[in-house]
Structure formats: structure tokens, C-alpha cells
A and B are shown apart, each in its own frame.
Chain A
Amino acid sequence: MVGEGLTTSEEGEEESPIPPSYRHHRRNSSSAVAASCDGFPKHSHVRHPSGADTERLAASQRELAESDSRLVFLGDPGLSDPRFEMPRNSIRTAKYSLIIFLPRNIFEQFRRLAYVYFLVIAVLNQLPQIAVFGRGASILPLAFVLLVTAVKDAYEDWRRHRSDRIENNRAASVCDPHSGRFFSKRWKEVRVGEVVKVLANEGIPCDMVLLATSDPTGVAYVQTINLDGESNLKTRYAKQETMIHPPGEDHPVDPAGFIRCEQPNRNIYGFLGNMEVDGKRVSLGPANIILRGCELKNTAWVIGVAVYTGSETKVMLNSSGASSKRSRLETQMNRETLLLSAILIALCLVMAICNGIWLGNHSDDLELAQFFRKRDYSDRDDKDENYNYYGLGMQVFFTFLMSVIVFQIMIPISLYISMEFVRLGQAYFMIRDANLYDESSNSRFQCRALNINEDLGQIKHVFSDKTGTLTENKMEFQCASIRGVDYSGGTSLRENGEEHCIVAASNQILKPKMSVKTDPELVRLLRNKGESEQGKQAREFFLALACCNTIVPLVVDTSDPKQKLIDYQGESPDEQALVYASASYGFVLIERTSGHIIIDVLGNKQRYDVLGLHQFDSDRKRMSVIVCCPDKTIKLFVKGADNSMFGVIQNKVDLCMIDATKANLHAYSSLGLRTLVVGMRELSRKEFEEWQSVYENASTSLMGRGKLLRAIASNIEKGLLILGASGIEDKLQEGVPEAIASMRQAGIKVWVLTGDKQETAISIGFSCKLLTSQMTQIVINSQSRESCRKSLQDAIAMYKKFAAISPDPFENILTGIVSTRVPMALIIDGTSLVFILETELEEDLFKVATVCDVVLCCRVAPLQKAGIVALIKNRSDDMTLAIGDGANDVSMIQMADVGIGISGQEGRQAVMASDFAMGQFRFLVPLLLVHGHWNYQRMAYMILYNFYKNAVFVFILFWYVLYTAYTLTTAITEWSSALYSAVYTTLPTIVVGILDKDLSRKTLMKYPQLYRAGQRDERYSLKLFILIMTDAVWQSVAVFYIPYLVYRQSTIDGSSIGDLWTLAVVVLVNIHLAMDVRRWNWITHAAIWGCIVATAICVIIIDCISTLPGYWAIFKIMGTGLFWLCLLGITVAGMLPHFSAKVLKEYLMPSDVQIVREMDKFWRIAATTSEIQNE
């Protein structure tokens, strides 16, 4: 047999992390993702925790260097590369052990700045000179937070320990190198170099190189759903050299055999190595390795040698944490936190200076004054000894430090913890939202990043991928052009009977799982035995479709024992569609092994030997396969993108036919179809032999294998005969046009970035209502920098012209004329972007793009996608969101402020890199308009409210301190001070932050314009901060001075009035919150009123401790009418300005949200719907 000994396995492109299959022209530049490691080190395709990792990843993409490799001796774990200590196969996802839990956990927790602040304050307080609070009260808040977090961590870690234990103790079957017998071993004991046997449906214990499988051709199927989420089966191959003698009792492992492979890295789609066994050297690629985390399917057993174990397995190396983006609100919040720090320092300085002045003025009195008694008389020997007095300067300094301790909660550190709770709650509701559940992929919404929930409410630009994001990525073969003749009259499939897609195999019936509409004329042409040129070419065309791919047919049982279904598994949906189509036309792919394929050609089973396969790559934009036909002719079938294919056609060619094909292609892409051109060439024996020798050399070469193989492929793929072209439809996802319309109403600009051709992109643009016929299209597809510059300047000129025609928008309001501005769309292609991005032309592009309503970028490479996102991100304050589903979207997902992955057909890289993941594009609308809006307004309010409530408390303390000779005494007990921000007031803010809704989901969806509130930063700004702080000062004055003036010159003791102040401030801030709550359900009621009751109970409990000075004070003061009148007066006086201002604001300057709330309330919505939509 010709193919004997040939390696036909898929040698994945070394520098590409995409699956070892090719992706056709639609992913024409997917390999550039990996290139991002060089060009954009900051945004490489996985989030690397350290630079070392990036290097390791890059290493896997270079050729295997001697020094950088790992030696694995077959069957002999002891001999494995002595230079590197190999870890056992036990894994440890748990972070802590019993002994190191405490120190390690505390260390981890103190990596957060907030805790360090807590700690510094607590430590300061331990110095005897400035001890403001007792030990207990000063450490309590910190201890509480640390304890809660530690308990949570411990619980999580215990669960990890348990799952680790189960995982580590699973049984693996390992070969004894001497006897060759397999015996059971626990997973954790498996070592590098050992030979392991895995049976069907078992998990794979470690990363292993395949030696043999139950399939005689060495094929094994694995499911990688746990690894990358792709549910279709992947084929893996054992090398022929090792297949011949599978290790076992009759054939012990060759002790001389060894594998040299790259160091462990996290690239799950790459592997590079070679194996020396029985004196032969064999190359190994990603198709020869099966990874931990996968499951063996449809294969009885496999035998492999462990190469990476335990923590070095690719799945473990890939288990990295979520992203650590920071929300815009949090960044803005830092500005206000700085302001608060300034206020805090100012308060402390005032305190220190006043204290100094007071001490100076009273310096003569202090010795005798009963309340100060500077001199220590108890020590009779030294009359000059002072008691606890260190001189004026030190006293002032200590006062400063003490004020920092007393006023510490001015900086609301507890806010950071509350925010985390709130985000957790918001994430819970987003995940549980039934409207974000995708039925077809059975996937819920996923929150992968927990700290940017509120950013969803402020998005201004959405960058969307097309394939798989706007479309379903479920390909359907629509039409074919063969020899320039268009066959697109697809009819219903049952019409022609079903026999042509059924194959009888030993009284069993095989059927492809799906069938496609067929064109009757084409079917007739194929069945016609007459040897017309057209018929011959049509047959070759479908033969090419059936064999030039990497699809694996799987035979699936049905309930009818006589009938079986063929399920075509593969990584490219385009290929699946093509193979299903060729099956419907009578060319049914039945079996594929590494050496041959079996195709049922119109009822005859034929065997084709696969002699060579050239992977798809983004340079060539095509793939090819060399097969030996049953008639012993050797044929090269090629398929690829049109522009790449027309470059390698035969010289003496029927130009009319080519032109007709091109015309058809143009027509197809105008319909939004994805096109592919198919060609073939018959190889002469000599030509083949030449090719074979270089191919063999190249595929076992160690240096530059990928490059060599590419060169060989380009060399053989020439002089092609064009058979025809295919058009595949990728259906729009449900609800996409409506979603885009909603987003546009919401003031969100939608940009589409696609790798497709310009015509396809434009037609998709029309079908998803992105483009409309009224729009002026500005098309930029230039081949040089100069023409780019010119196009951009033309575009600017055009915009200015339109701007001059249409009247000023301000005038519109006065005159009431609807704007006549012509909407514009910018269409730009990847080639032009090459000349524009990262040059001085960027500024022009930015200007043009921002005035256009729609921007459509076609034929863009992944890095360019990121570049376009960066264009907006760097030049404006607008929030950006990128949404995509494929590996080529990873860079833009990471670049954008918010990255969303579609968990669709195409792997999981996009999801892994994203902040949020969901099933459908249209979910973007409820996500942004409803959840984003809610999250933003909740979080914005919560931050402001927390600033305010802590400030009120601090100012009350401050006013009191003015009457204590500036000595930082607090009338409010230290316990209440410690509990104030932790217990008395926290729960309601968290509940409101999670549950409050200004508007209902229905209303928000109905009026997308309401989303603009978030874009305009309506709910959080410096102005609002200053307003609420002014309110805080007034309220603190009310709380402090009403009791002060009432109880001046009375017998009131410090504890009683302190209790009054405590209760008053808690009641006041909770009433303030209650006044701003938009929606009261029972949980809100329980939280707010419950919190006031809880505070009262806490105060009572504190006053029941007889060793505290305040014993029984609360009961005494609550027994007087004066107390209750004070409380009522404080509440009303405190709230009066806020209430009046709120009423005035809502009445005179109502926000959109306010008006719609009123509409909601008064049922005006139904009546006015038509009015609203006249925009």
C-alpha cells in the first residue's frame, strides 16, 4: 500500500493555539491570536499571572530546542530526565493544609489594602499613649472580617481537599515494565514515563502520548468537554511504529525507548515532541497526546505513556483565576476616597491644633485641675514626675494619632466588603435570570469576573464579532457553483426519495443525521451515468467535499436496530455542513481512519487512501488532501478562500468559467453566504514520489517543521483545476435585529468586526438591521497608506458637509423640526486598518468612526480587533464592551472594558477569556438594559450612601470632641463605634444594593433610552458626592446639637446622651436610606426596620453589662419623654433638607427614570407607547 508508514496525522501549527483542524477562510487569520504574544504582550490570549508563564507559552510555539526539552523514558519512571524533578500525579487544588492554614490565610487576606488599613489602626490603638478604644473594641471589626473570610476559605478549601482526595485515589491501570502485566495503581502514584492503559468512558489520569489503541489504525476518540467545553469528539492517533507492538504481556516496554518533548505549558492545543522507539525516530504532535480532563469515547482501550503529571498537566496549568478588571465606578470612587482622606486629615489636624492651643492656654491649671492632674503625686520621691504627660509637642502628636483612630471610619473600609457582597448578590440574580438562559445550548449566564457588574450599566460601544455571535454558527449548505453553473434551486429534501442518502451495510441502514435541501437538476446530473464534462466535474466536486476535511463520522445507534445514524463530528461547522451536503447528494463519508477513508459514492462503497494532508493555515488560507483513488490515480483536492484559490489555478484555463464562478461567488456573498472554492489536480507518480520524500522528511524534522510543511503545501498546491464553489448560509441568531435596534435606541454604538468578506459583511449588516438603506456608506478599502489618508479625509469632508446641511441640534429643539442629519455607516477592511492603526491616521479614523452611526470592519485579524477597541478606549472615556465566541475574539474581549463570551459552537477560549459568558447575542439587551442599569444605579447609590453614613457618624464624634477639651472622648460607647459600620448600618445597604429596582424589567426593555442614565454618569459624580456630604454635615449637626442644646445644664451623663446619639444616627441614616428606596418588598422592610431594632437591642445589651460605665443608662433615658421627643425632632430636622431637595428635584428637574416611574405608577404607559416610538 502506498500510504504505509506515512504519517498522516495532523501536525498542528506550532504557533497556533487553534485546534489542529483548519477553519477555512472565515477564520482566515485566527492564528494571529498567538502572534498577539509578540505584538501585544499585555493582551496575550490567556491571562497569565506571571511573565514566566508567557515565556513558557511562547516556548511551546517555537521549535523544540534541545536544552528546553524533557526526556521521558518509556516504562521507566526512574530514568526520566534527572535534570528536572517530576511531580507525582497527585493534584492539589486545595490551597492550605491544616498547619499552614492560619498563617497563609491571614497573609492572603492582608494582601488587600483595606485590611492593612484596619490593621494599622488597630496596632496604633495598642500603644498605651494613644489607646482610644479598649483592646477588644479595636480589634473586633478586623477580627470579625478576618474570621468570616477565614471560615469561608476554610470551607471552600475543605471541599477542594475532598475532591482532590477522590480524584487522587481513582484507579489507573499501569504496566509493569518487567512483566508487562497491567496492575491497578492509584492516580496519585502514576509517574512520568509509566505506561498507562485507559478503557472506554474512563477519565484520563495524566497527559500521555498515545502508544496504541484498540483501533487497528491507531485512532482514539476523546471528549474534551471538561478541558475546553467542546462537546464533539476529537480524534487522536497513535503512531504506526508503536501500534505494531502494543505494550503488554507478550511485548514488554522497550527499555531503550524515550520521548523528547517540550516542557510543560498551558497551551492545550499544542504539543511538540519526538519519540525514539525500536531505533526509529517518530515525530509527535498535538494529535498524538491525550490530556488529563478528557474522557475516552468510542474506543475500547488506549495505551499511552505519561509525559506530564499532576500539577504539570495542561488542564491544571490552565486552571487560572478570573480576570481582575476594575470597574469604572470603583475607579471614580477612589477619587472620592482620596477626598475623604483629605477631610479626615483635616479633621485630625484641627483636633491636634485645638488640643495644642487648649493645653497652652491652660498650662498653669493642669497641675491641680481634678480632671487633668498633670503631676503624679503618688510617687513622693520625685515631685516633678508627670503622670501620662509628655510635653506639649508629644501631646499634640498623640492627639493627632488618636483622632485618626477615632475618625477612622471616615474612610468607609467596610464599603469594600459590602460591595463584594452586593456584587455577589447581583451576580446571583444575573445567573438565575431565566431570560438569560439559553435553551439550545443549555447554558446559563456566567459571571466570570465579579468586580465589574456595574460597568454593564455604562456601556457606550459594543464591538461584536459576526460569526457565532450575530449568527448561529450553524452552517447550512445552500448552493453550489460547478464549472460556473449555479445550482441553487434547493427543494424540499424528501421529494427525491431517501435512497440516495441511505447506505445499506449488511442489512443495516445507515443515514446521515441531517439532510440538506438538494437541487434536483444537480442530483439528476450526478445520477446521469453519461460522461458529460459537467457531470464528471460535479462528481469530483462532491468527492472533494467528502474527503477534503477532518470530519470524523460516528455511527450512532437508534432505537430501531436496523437503522443507524451517521453523526459527523468535527471542529469546523463549515466542514460539517459540506460533508452533510455531499452526503445528501449521494457522497456519504462512512469511515475515516488515519490511513484511509471510505465513501459511499452513489451506492458503491469506495476506499480512498489518504496519503497526505496539509493543514489550513492563515497564510495560505486553504487546505488540501492527497488521496489515492480506487483506480490508483493520485489526486490532490484543495479547498480554500476565493482569493487564495484563484491565485493558484491552472494557467491555460477556461476564463469564461472562472468569470462565471467569480460572478456566482459575488452573488453568494451578497446574499450573506460564506463561500469556498474547491479545486483539484491529478498528480503524476513522479510528482507524488517527490512530494512524498520531502513530506516525510519535513514531518519528522525537529527544526522548523511547521514552516517546512507549509512550504511543501504551497509547492504542491498549484496549477489547480477549479471544480466549483459552495455557498454556506450562517443563519442570524434569533432576535439579533431587535437587539441591535434596542441597543441603538439606548445610545450604544454597535460595531461589527468580522473576518468575512466585505460583501458578506454588508449583507449581514443589512439583514441584522445594522445598516439601513437611508444610510450613507463610507467605504474604505485601500491598498496603501496614501489612499487611506485620502479616503479618511474625504470621509471627514463628507461628514462636515452633512453637518453643514443639517441644522444645529439645539435649533431643532426650538423649532421642533426633526433632525435631517443623514445617518452614516463606515465600512473599512483589514488591509486599510493595517495602514491606519498605530499610525497618525488613527486620529482621523477615530473622528470619522465616532460620527458614524455604524462601523463595520471586515477581513480583520484578531489583533486588529483589539486595536479597534483600543482606538476607542484610549481616545475617549466611553465604556467599551466586546462580544465574541471564537479564539480570534480573545484579544478584543480582553482589551475591552467588559468582555463577553458567547458559549456557542466554537470552543471555549472566548468564554475563558471573558468577564461574562452567555448563550445568545440577544441576551445582551436584558443584560445591559436591565441588569446593567440596575447594577449601576444600585452600586452608585450604595457607594454614595456609605460615604454619607460614615461621614455623619464621624462628624457627630467630631462635634462632641469639641466639648471634651479636644481629648477624643466619645460619648458613644466604643463598642457602638466599632459596630456602627459593621452591624448597625451595613445590612440595609447590602440588601438595597442587591434588591432595589428603580424600574421594572418590562419598562426598561420598553424604553431603551433609559440606559443613557448610566452613560451620562447620572447616579455618581463629584457633584452628587459634594451634595451628599453637605447633607451629612447638616444631619450630623442635627443629631449632635439638638440633644446638646436640650441637655445642656442638666444632669445628663455621658453614657445616656451617647446612647441617644447612637440611636438617633442609626435611625436617621436608615430613614435616609428608606426615603431613597424605590421598591419596598418584605426583605427591604425587614432589613431596614430590623436594623434599627437590632441596634436598639445591641445598645441595650451593652448597657446591661454592669462593668461598663454606661450600665442601665439606656433604660433610664428611654424612660423619659424628652428622649423620644429628641429622637423625633432629630429625625425630622435631619431629613427636612434632603426630603425637600428630593421633592424639588423630582418635580422641577425630573430625570427620565423619574418620569417613567411616574408613568409606570399612573398606568400611562399603554396610552403613550406610540408617542414614544416616534423617535
Chain B
Amino acid sequence: MIPTGDSTPETDGATERRKKSKKPNYSRFTQQELPACKPLLTPTIVISTFILIGVLFIPIGLASLSASGNVVEIVYRYDIDCIPQQSQDDKLAFIQSSVTNKTCTTTFNVPKNMKAPVHIYYELDNFYQNHRRYVKSRNDKQLRSKAYELETTNCAPEATTPDGSPIVPCGLIAWSLFNDTYSFATQSKVIEVNKKNIAWQSDKDHKFGSDVYPKNFQQGGLIGGAKLNESIPLSEQEDLIVWMRTAALPQFRKLYGRIERDLAANEQISVTIENNYNTYSFEGEKRLVLSTTSWIGGKNGFLGVAYLTIGSLCIFLAVAFIVLYLLKPRTLGDPSYLSWNRNPDGH
């Protein structure tokens, strides 16, 4: 059928329609035609990616390995050695007793030159500082400010004394503060151990209050660890601050102090250990570690090995893919590979 009306009403209608038209406005966004990059894994890209990773990773791996190799580390496990022969059967009684002499001395040889600063760590094993009961048992508000002294939420069972006054610092973590001490000497000459600045500056400044003093601490029925000097504010109790950065894993090291002088190779160092901390109740292990540091931290070859492995694997893959591309060449975008071209039925 053909409209026979005059053209004017038609055009009127047309303009009106245009006004009301619901036609979507064209934009590259609404039509999903934004300019875009369409990366494709061509053989060139694949092979160069693998080679690039290999070329990058192998040197890093070698560098890490050598850095780790340059670190000099002395590890000495003392938790068994420091128990007198007669107490070996009942270590727990020995460590719990208040009358036994827990001092023990040993000497060891410096295998290589150790450049200052030499870090002194104590290492605990099998000590779950990440145990749920333990890790939650602290109150950061109380640590921070005197105003929150009464704040002992989450601190159970070391929250308050039986008469109800708060323990500062409260909680299992503070209560179990490590209390072995070490002193070092060479040929009767004492080696100074610098115990300053072993904690994070940020913790000292913001996390542990300079107006918070220990109170009612370590006075309960069971002694968990070290006692604190009640006249020193928490912000300066660096051992506590270090201890309260709870470790991620059950085997961990904590910084004890630094020796600010070089230790020469073959130097004989005698160590006096006050073996106070009870790790015997849970088969824990205690070690003393002296170590220099490098840019990758302490002695750890894993990273270097891992980088070398990944790097060489990538090189291997690059070669493998080159071989594959040569043995089974496929022209990219060859339409004869399309399923409906291979099989006319399209099934």
C-alpha cells in the first residue's frame, strides 16, 4: 500500500518521530567499539617471554645465591646442653625450680670473618607464637596509652590480678616474654652487646606508650617468662616490643642485640647463657644465632635456587617451544583448521 496523503503531514510526523525516537545514541562505548588492543600469543611473543624471564631470573638467582653464601652464620642449640647431666631426666623440674643455677657457658669458633654489625638472634622452634589462643591474647590499646590502662579485653587469662586490678602489659604474649640472656667474651675480654634499636622505630613511637609503665606484671601463680622493670616505660622495653611482634611460623628468630665490631675468623668466643626460658614443657628448641646480613637478609639459599630453577625452566620451555614450532608448524589464522572446514557436516 502506498500512502496517498500530502507530503506535509508525513514530514511533520517524521520530525515528531525523530524527536521522540528511542534510537540509542551512537557512542563507541555503548556499541562496544572502544579502541582496544587484542594481544595474541604468537610464537615470537611466547618465545621472547620465556627467554626474557630466563634472562632476568638466572642472574637474580645467582646474585641471591652469592649474597646468601656471603652471610656468615653461627647457630648453636643450647636447650639440651645447658641442662646439667643430673637433670637431663627431668628438665622441666630443673627449669621450674627457683634455686638451680641456670647459667651455662660455652665457646665456639668464628668460621669466617664477620663484618659488623653482627646480629644476635635467639631462635625458638615448635613455639606456636601464631597459635590462635596466643596471638589474640593482647590489648593494643592498653599498650599504647595510660588512659586505657583498664582495657584488658582479649587478654584472658592474664588480664587482671585476682583482686581485679589490671595487669600491664596484659595478655599471654607479654606474659610469656623470653628471658634467656647472653653475654659474649673473647679471651676474658667482654664483647659489648648493643641492645638499643632492636625494635621497630614505629612500634616504639606509636604502638607502645611512653607513659605506660608495667604494673602487676608477672605476679600470678605461674611465671611465664621475663619480668619487667616497672620504672621503664613500655616504649623503651625493646625486648618486649620485639617479642610482641608475634612470629609468623612456629620456628622463628628474634633479634636479641648487635655486636658492633667485626669478628675475625677463628676467633674463640665464649658465651654465657642464662637458661631461664621454659621450652621443655612442650618440646621446644632454643638456639643462639650470630649472623651477618646482606641485602637478602640472613642466610637463605632458597630464593636463589628458586630463581635459578624458574629461569632455567623458562629457557628450557623456550627451546621446547622453538622445537615444537619447527616440528609442527601451523600457520596462525589458517582457515583450513576451522572445524567446519575440516568437517563439512559441522559436527
Contacts and interface: CB of A to CB of B under 8 A. Distances in A.
Given A378-B220, A442-B21, A1053-B245, A565 B32 contact: no
Contact of A371 (B32, B133, B254): B133
B278 A368 contact: yes
A1080 B37 CA distance: 5
A1101 interface: no
Contact of A969 (B41, B131, B222): B131
Contacts of A1107: 140-141, 144
B160 A1046 contact: no
Interface in B270-291: 278, 281-283
Contacts of B35: 1081
Contacts, number: 339
Interface string A451-476: 00000000000000000000000101
Given A1051-B255, A1116-B200, A1122-B303, A558 B6 contact: yes
Interface in A131-183: none
A1111 B4 contact: no
A429 B225 contact: no
Interface in A591-635: none
A370 B140 contact: no
B135 A818 contact: no
B165 to A, nearest CB: 12
Nearest to B172: A373
Nearest to B284: A369
Contact of A964 (B123, B132, B341): B132
Contacts of A1157: 38, 40, 333
Nearest to A998: B38
Contacts of A1083: 34
Nearest to A132: B132
Contact of B306 (A442, A1009, A1129): A1129
A749 to B, nearest CB: 12
A968 B254 CA distance: 23
Interface string B31-49: 1101111111101001001
A380 B338 contact: no
Given A369-B282, A964-B130, A1106-B140, A387 B157 contact: yes
A965 B128 contact: yes
Contacts of B172: 370-371, 373
B2 interface: yes
Contacts of A1171: 335-336, 341
Contacts of A1111: 202-203, 206-207
B346 A1175 contact: yes
Interface stretch (B78-86, B231-239, B294-302): B294-302
Interface stretch (A689-697, A772-780, A1143-1151): A1143-1151
A1047 B129 CA distance: 15
A688 interface: no
Interface stretch (A244-252, A301-309, A1161-1169): A1161-1169
B252 A442 contact: no
Given A365-B282, A1049-B123, A476 B1 contact: yes
Contacts of B338: 1007, 1009, 1152, 1155-1156, 1172
A388 B155 CA distance: 12
B17 interface: yes
Interface stretch (A286-294, A430-438, A669-677): A430-438
A1023 B17 CA distance: 53
Contacts of A1001: 32
B334 interface: yes
A372 B134 contact: yes
B343 interface: yes
A1026 interface: no
Contacts of B248: 971, 1047, 1052-1054, 1056-1058
Contacts of A1150: 330, 337
A1143 B297 contact: no
B52 to A, nearest CB: 11
Given A747-B346, A1152-B339, A387 B156 contact: yes
B344 A1053 contact: no
A512 B4 contact: yes
B134 A1046 contact: no
B296 A1122 contact: yes
Contacts of A563: 6
Interface in A921-974: 963-965, 967-969, 971
Contacts of A1146: 41
A1162 B332 contact: yes
B347 interface: yes
A1078 B24 contact: no
Contacts of A577: 1
A321 B144 CA distance: 57
Interface in A813-828: 813, 818-819, 821
A442 B19 CA distance: 11
Interface in A1102-1148: 1106-1109, 1111-1112, 1115-1116, 1120-1122, 1125-1126, 1129, 1132-1133, 1136, 1139-1140, 1142-1143, 1146-1148
B133 A437 contact: no
B343 A813 contact: yes
B249 interface: yes
A560 B4 CA distance: 13
B333 A371 contact: no
Given A377-B157, A377-B222, A514-B2, A1132 B53 contact: yes
A474 B347 CA distance: 39
A337 to B, nearest CB: 29
Interface string B1-29: 11111101100100001001111101000
B328 A1148 contact: yes
B334 A1155 contact: yes
B221 to A, nearest CB: 4
Contacts of A1159: 333, 335
A474 B346 CA distance: 37
Among the interface residues A367, A369, A501, which one has the most CB atoms of the partner chain B within 10 A? A369
B253 A1009 contact: no
A370 B3 contact: no
Contacts of B129: 371, 1054
Nearest to A369: B282
Interface string B90-113: 001000000000000000000000
Nearest to B281: A368
A818 B344 contact: yes
Nearest to B45: A1143
B138 interface: yes
A362 interface: yes
B29 to A, nearest CB: 9
Nearest to A1115: B202
Contacts of B283: 365
Interface in B303-338: 303, 306-307, 310, 313-314, 317, 321, 324-325, 328, 330, 332-338
Given A378-B157, A1157-B333, 17 more contacts: A365-B281, A371-B176, A377-B157, A437-B24, A442-B22, A513-B3, A515-B4, A558-B5, A559-B6, A1012-B339, A1050-B253, A1053-B246, A1129-B303, A1132-B57, A1155-B337, A1157-B40, A1161-B332
20 contacts: A372-B128, A378-B161, A379-B162, A388-B156, A432-B31, A434-B24, A444-B23, A514-B3, A559-B6, A559-B8, A560-B6, A1009-B340, A1012-B340, A1050-B300, A1080-B37, A1140-B317, A1142-B41, A1152-B339, A1152-B340, A1161-B38
Interface of B: 1-6, 8-9, 12, 17, 20-24, 26, 30-32, 34-41, 43, 46, 49, 53, 57, 60, 64, 92, 121, 123, 127-135, 138, 140-141, 144, 156-162, 172, 175-176, 200, 202-203, 206-207, 220-222, 224-225, 245-255, 278, 281-283, 295-298, 300, 302-303, 306-307, 310, 313-314, 317, 321, 324-325, 328, 330, 332-347
